Chain A
Amino acid sequence: MRNLTPILTAIAVSFGTMTQAQTQQTDPNIVDQAPFASENAIIDTSIPFAIGAREAQQSLRGAFGWPTFQEGLVQGVYFRFDPDGYARFAPTPRLDTDVFEVICRPRTYSCMGRKGALSVILNSRGQMQLKIDDVQTGDRFFVSEGVSEIEVPERILQPLETQLELLLSSGGDLIVRRGDNEKDRISLSGFLAVSAYLRWVAARQDYSILPRGWPVPNAVGSDASVTQASTWQSPMPQPQNFPTGQNNLGQTQFQQAPQPLQIQVQPTIASSNQSEVDEVKSELKVLRELLMDRNQTSQAEQQNVPAQPAQTSQQAGMAGSIAQLMPQNATQQPVSDQIAALQRASAQIQADLQRLSQPVQHQTQTGLAQTTLNPTPQVQQTEKVMQAAEQSDRVVDPAMETAKRLQYLMTEIGLDAKTALMLIQLGEGEPQGNQAIATSVERPQPQEQQPVFQENVVAEILQELENDVLKQQQLKTSQIEKEIVMTEEEFVLLSQYFKSVVLDR
């Protein structure tokens, strides 16, 4: 519940923003003042994007505008950007030719780079995604550097692999050919800087997200995290520390938490999915406990309230569930409302789970995965073993579990006893985050099995939850049927009703 709050808040905020934007668009005379609202300032221009960049004052004559901006030179391109994220990158200091322009959606960290027909965005998994206007099936793509050019696969229009991104970042021109005709030629000058900028913005100006070799200033003060190993650039999978609850962006922030440039996509998704499943588990547990508590304390007061059909509540929108899930008035709400809210939350969680499982499926479709998701007989067998192991884990003695982990850390990893014990204690202190890591350390699993395994676990939990809800409903319905006894006087024929209305007039 606690973890869902920022997500739901973000949805509410974005909904409100959309409504506001629509209202403004309806009146053509209204001057759009939103661009300079302080809420739109997503970037601190005093934090240099690269060594040598400086914050400067804008020459404002009017009554509004951004007071500052940042300008500098990096990787051969000059740049300027405003607090709202609007940026321009060009090889000339005047920023007048061959300009890569970056525009951010108001009040979000979602930005897009544009140069001519080329658009670049950062997708939810931290990959660059290209879009080229007016491209048709059969068009071919080339990267040209002087007289030499190489053909690049059509996959550049899908989330970019590291190799392709590095190729495009090397400069030159991107050529689109239709048949023998050159349809478009787009300079890639500034592509590297723009992709770094998009990631830097999405990471709240965190230097650790910038590519290897990027000229960043020395870390000072709060940037001490740069020295932590978990934030280093590495081709190896890293535990993902998603910043959550830092601001009012919630869901957007969570989804757009950036990935290091050179990280392999597949393990990243697996580990992030694992941690999210853990979060969902804990939320389900909280929901269940909440329901049981409420039910016990207010059972007597809730008997006269008719239950609502579960089917209707499951179709409620996400925004509705935000208000329903807020705990402050929960004790005063009828139990049916709570059930409805829980059902909606259940539907929401199911949708979230589907969404979480999508990246892997998508990855499979795009050919990024090393193996397919369809379990072979051998994999199915492994899966069963894993399920059995998971079930057996639930009844394992905690002392045995600790001893087992200690032994693993000392023998397999080679840690000394003190360090191993400390790691285990840390793991116990942070059950959501480190438990996932410890589990993965304990039993390294094939990545392709992870989503299936997760789905099974979650489906099991959901089944339990639904059973609880159904029991509550059945109990209540029977009580209500007992309570409500209709007398004959309460029934009025429709014709008599109409007659009475006419006579009253």
Chain B
Amino acid sequence: MQQNQSHNGKSRRGGGFGTGVLIASIVVLSGTIYAIGSTAKTIFLAQEEEIIPIIAGSDLDQIPALMRGNLPSVTTSLKHGLPMREKPPRMCEMNEDYFEKLDRGLEQPTGYTVRNEYVRQYRDRRGFLNEREMRAAKVAWHYFEKFTQETTGLANSVGNYPSTTLWDTASYMAGATAAYELCLIEKPEFDKRMTQLLTTIKSLELFRKEMPNKVYHTKTGAKVDYTNKPGEIGFSALDIGRFLVWMRILKNRYPHLANTIDSVLLKWDFANTVDKEGLLFGAYVDKETGETVYAQEGRLGYEEYAAKGFALWGFKPLLAHRAEPFLTASIFGIQVPYDGRDPRVFHSQNYVVTESYLQDGLELGFDLPHDDTSPEWLHSDGWRAEFADRIYQVQENRWRRTGFMTARSEHNVKGPPYFTYDTIFSDGYPWNTVTPRGDYVPDHAAVAAKAALGLWALWETEYTDVLYDAIIELYDPENGMYEGLYERGQGRVAIYTANNNGIILTSLLHKVQGTILTPYTGDTEVWYTAFRDQDVRERRQYPDPPQESDWLPALRHSVQTQADF
């Protein structure tokens, strides 16, 4: 039987083998398919499980800015986790040793830091007010007591002339803040005055439904022209910028006024005020056609100060905050910076005066708008502080080399021409005193009271002591501080203005409290959240809360190392 099987020569495998192979093949194939499927499933399905949800305001948030209103504004304290500066107490609530504990940075080297911050050669003047200063503060405040209109709460710009600008209204806000912090008035009066003022400003008729008119009648609140007759002129970006600085100061210091303050600004249309490049624009009426003309406004000094006012509210005035184009004129060995835009082309003069630098130093501490942490002696807007040092130094040098006490600013005068730009440099000339139309009027050169006390507050030197003695008793107890002292010996500039008295009060407050602007301590603001459900924010170009990318840059310019003659 076995032979037969072998004899045939062929071995035949049974059908079970084939079946086994088939089964094996099927198994292998199925396994492969399963493996591939499992792998694919692992790969594709696992991706779905790892999606990160997009949180409003996070890095992945691509939703339009309209929805980002509840983001906090990014400041240095938020970015770097540093403690904010604290609002100082009112003078009457200060401990006696308050000033002994202040960090004044006396041991710090002068000059720029690696982050383009700047440490000035001289320090601020700090301390309690003495008797003479308190008397000056009371008299200066008396100007506002006397010349504030009961009907509107607006203060006259000049004596009893019932008109004002936003610039001078900011001076009134400065005066009221100083009066409260120096304990000249108490909170009820302060609140009453500010609430009435803000309510009036909110109800003011705007220039062509856009921004506040340049001038308003203080008794009626009507918009008027330069002759104080009903009419309209246009708006001034510089005036608005200063006003924004003081609205921010009030809002940060007194949160209970915040909603009122926001509601004032939320009536305005900023669409034509700050352009995409960050230049500031004012407006005027074309005499021929009656149409609105928008024109760039501001020159070196005022322009940067106003730009910072806008930046404090989230705008991005990048170009306006830049010093360029600027040139320098060598005066008494100091390279005095002035605006390089040619007046023959732009029809706007380049006045170099003290006031804009003083206001930056007193109110903003020569700091950038997003800086709420740096100490008093360190100025994050470095080049502004360095330029201010030059402005101070050239005036001291003039005093030392000619004997003329010098504290130059724009100021009113009694009688024609009623207003002068008493400049350090303008129109190609040093110590040029000119009228608004450009006439040279050296007889109106004066030591401006506001400039003198501003210099005294920010530069603690022998020279400012002299200025102080010249000015601190220059007042009429019935009307306020005089505008100044004529340089050529004609006596006092016998006129009283809101701006002069406001800046003097600010200077005195700065001695007690340092930089006037304090950090914002809330989370978000109505200013950033209002109208999110409408297109109003888009149309009026209300900004979003500034982020780090929106910060104005800290810059430096070449430093003068030796006298230049």
Instruction: Write the residues of chain A forming the contact surface with B, with a CB cutoff of 8 angstroms.
Output: 29-33, 35-38, 46, 56-69, 71, 80, 82, 86, 88, 94-96, 103
Contacts and interface: CB of A to CB of B under 8 A. Distances in A.
Contacts of B421: 59
A56 B347 contact: yes
B412 A38 contact: no
B42 to A, nearest CB: 74
A103 B415 CA distance: 13
A33 B228 contact: yes
B418 A35 contact: yes
A195 B88 CA distance: 64
A103 B416 CA distance: 10
Contacts of A61: 167, 410, 419, 436
B228 A62 contact: no
B349 A59 contact: yes
Contact of B227 (A37, A95, A96): A37
5 contacts: A32-B414, A35-B418, A63-B226, A95-B438, A103-B416
B164 interface: yes
Given A58-B437, A95-B440, A63 B348 contact: no
B45 to A, nearest CB: 71
Q: Give the 5 A-B CB pairs with smallest separation, nearest first.
A: A96-B440, A31-B159, A58-B436, A63-B157, A63-B163
B160 interface: yes
Contact of A63 (B161, B287, B351): B161
A386 to B, nearest CB: 54
B157 A62 contact: yes
Contacts of A86: 416
Given A29-B479, A59-B349, A65 B160 contact: no
B418 A64 contact: yes
Given A31-B160, A60-B419, A61-B410, A36 B227 contact: yes
Interface string B184-218: 00000000000000000000000000000001000
Interface in B24-65: none
Interface in B84-139: none
B227 A30 contact: no
A33 B436 contact: no
Given A61-B410, A65-B226, A66-B226, A31 B347 contact: no
Contacts of B324: none
A38 B163 contact: no
B215 A80 contact: no
Nearest to A68: B287
Contacts of B418: 35-36, 62, 64-65
Given A29-B478, A32-B415, A103-B416, 12 more contacts: A29-B479, A31-B495, A36-B227, A38-B229, A46-B287, A57-B284, A61-B436, A62-B158, A63-B165, A64-B157, A66-B226, A67-B226
B415 A63 contact: no
Nearest to A80: B437
A62 B419 contact: yes
A96 B427 CA distance: 13
Contact of B168 (A35, A36, A59, A63): A63
Nearest to B348: A59
B233 interface: yes
Most chain B CB within a 10 A radius of its CB, from A64, A67, A69, A95? A64
Nearest to A37: B227
Most chain A CB within a 10 A radius of its CB, from B158, B225, B233, B437? B437
B439 A88 contact: yes
Interface string B281-311: 0001001000000000000000000000000
Interface string B128-159: 00000000000000000000000000000111
Contacts of B229: 38
Contacts of A31: 158-161, 495
Contacts of B215: 63-64
A214 B158 CA distance: 42
